A = this chain, B = another copy of it.
Amino acid sequence: MKIGEVAKAAQCSVETIRYYEREGLLPLAARTASNYRAYGTEHLDRLRFIRNCRALDMTHGEIRLLLDTMAEAAPSCGGIDQVIDAHIDHVVLRISELQQLKTQLLALRQRCQRDSTLDQCGILQGLAEMDEDARSVVRHTHLG
């Protein structure tokens, strides 16, 4: 397969595949006489695996951990579990962060009576005055 076919099959861009190769997530592909990358199904399988992990918002580091564990001589399932469990923790934490954010934003939004002038705007006052408690809701995971 050429890179474009693989990209279509894995639903990602050609550039992403070349990027994964540079990053070492995908092995170097064989080349045709005209220097085009030539892929087999094992490449496609690995790429699909990676894209599925990315769809679950895993980082390249997490994915590398999974791929490395799979490549071990006598691997067991424990390492895989740990990666997934840690990732679930990230997701759960980020959800609670965003829920706090939402609460704060809705409170801020409430402070506005549309059509008041700017110097009476409760939103701007709120944004100028937020205290430490409110500010302390910040990202602690790799998830946005």
Contact = CB atoms under 8 A, between A and B. Distances in A.
A contacts with B: majority SS? helix
Interface stretch (A13-21, A22-30, A32-40, A91-99): A91-99
Nearest to A108: B84
Instruction: Kindly state the interface size class of chain A when it binds its partner.
Output: 35 or more
A9 interface: no
Contacts of A76: 115-118
Given A81-B114, A118-B70, A49 B95 contact: no
B109 A88 contact: yes
A53 B69 CA distance: 41
A126 to B, nearest CB: 8
A130 interface: yes
A109 B81 contact: yes
A14 B130 CA distance: 21
B77 A123 contact: yes
B95 A91 contact: no
Given A11-B135, A78-B114, A130 B55 contact: yes
Interface string A59-97: 000000010011000011110110011011001101100
